[in-house]
Amino acid sequence: MKNYTTIKDISNLSETIKEAILLKMNPFEFQDLGKNKTLVMLFFNSSLRTRLSTEKAAKNLGMDVMILNINDAWNLEFEDGTVMNVNTSEHIKEAAQVISQYADIIAVRAFPTLEDKAKDESEYVLNNFQKYASVPIINMESATAHPLQAMADAITISELTEKKTPKVVLSWAPHPKALPQAVANSFVEMMQDLDVDLTITHPKGYELNPEITRNSTINYDQEDALKDADFVYVKNWSNYNDYGKILSQDENWMMTKAKLGKAKFMHCLPVRRNVVVEDAVLDSGQSVVIEQANNRTFAAQVVLKQLLENI
């Protein structure tokens, strides 16, 4: 692995999942690998799980970690040729090259604007870091993708499935705030690469990027979609077509115990209780959200391990 900006960077998914599960059993086994190696984590947006799990993963491997929460004092310029006489004080060309000298791996979190679709889809923050950095880049959730979360999800399903080809349903849920499509995008892409039977369900008009979903089943009837599901991944996203807008807050799309049937309930967290999913689901043994969050550490650790082995 040379970078981990999308799940397409994984060369062998099933081997990687197995390796993550081995790391989980013995997290401190490879502490020599990270010795005198530094992970710089750059947060353009705040973070709880990603921050702690990735930092923990790096330290499990013996790495040093340096964390920068980017604030208004550091406005990066991403355009070429700009006369930088207004707000931006440093160009990504310098920033990425400079940080590369203090880091062996750089991890970046940068959310979408949810206003300018073309700009978001260009992944200008992440891609410019990758373009100008001289060290590997890890995506800690970008405008359109969250591959560390998708890796944790894949590990969780692999650990818990009782079938060779489980039925997995991605079910949209209402939410009071406009959220990115990143988690849903990476989850769909990851499921397409796993041996699962994936169905996506959401209100009409809430289609994700069709380039991502084109090989997957979409069923607008939530009840029908959920039938015989083994894993139900619930997630809100704001509208992709009418970009970044909230067109529905239909409470009927909230996940309930009745709808869930015998399936395992998955969510990336944080989750708004009794909006996205009712208490009865989260407080039941069918919820695996805590285990998913636990697997964030080993998702990050297997990625860091593979990157370190390639340095």
Alpha helices in 113-181 (DSSP H): 117-121, 124-132, 147-160
As measured in angstroms, the least distance from the Cβ of 224 to a second copy is 27
**Chosen residue from 21, 33, 56, 117 binding a second copy by CB under 8 A:** 56
Strand partners, 201: 171
Give yes or no for residue 215 binding a second copy (CB under 8 A).
no
| 56 φ/ψ angles, rounded to the nearest 5 degrees | -60, -45
Give yes or no for residue 22 binding a second copy (CB under 8 A).
no
CA distances from 231 to 139, 157, 196, 276, 277 (A): 25, 8, 10, 16, 14
Give yes or no for residue 49 binding a second copy (CB under 8 A).
yes
Task: Enumerate residues 6+ apart whose C-beta is below 8 A from 146.
Answer: 139, 182, 183, 185, 186, 268
As measured in angstroms, the least distance from the Cβ of 192 to a second copy is 27
Length of the chain, please?
A: 311
Instruction: Give me the 63-82 binding string for a second copy, x by CB under 8 A, dash otherwise.
Output: -x-x-x--x-xx--x--xxx
**Chosen residue from 105, 173, 196, 289 binding a second copy by CB under 8 A:** 289
In 3D space, the residue among 53, 63, 60 whose CA is nearest the CA of residue 27 turns out to be: 60
Give yes or no for residue 97 binding a second copy (CB under 8 A).
yes
Chain residues binding a second copy by CB under 8 A are 27-28, 36, 38, 40, 45-46, 48-49, 51-53, 55-56, 59-60, 64, 66, 68, 71, 73-74, 77, 80-86, 88-91, 93-95, 97-99, 101-103, 176, 269-275, 279, 282-283, 289-290, 293-294, 297
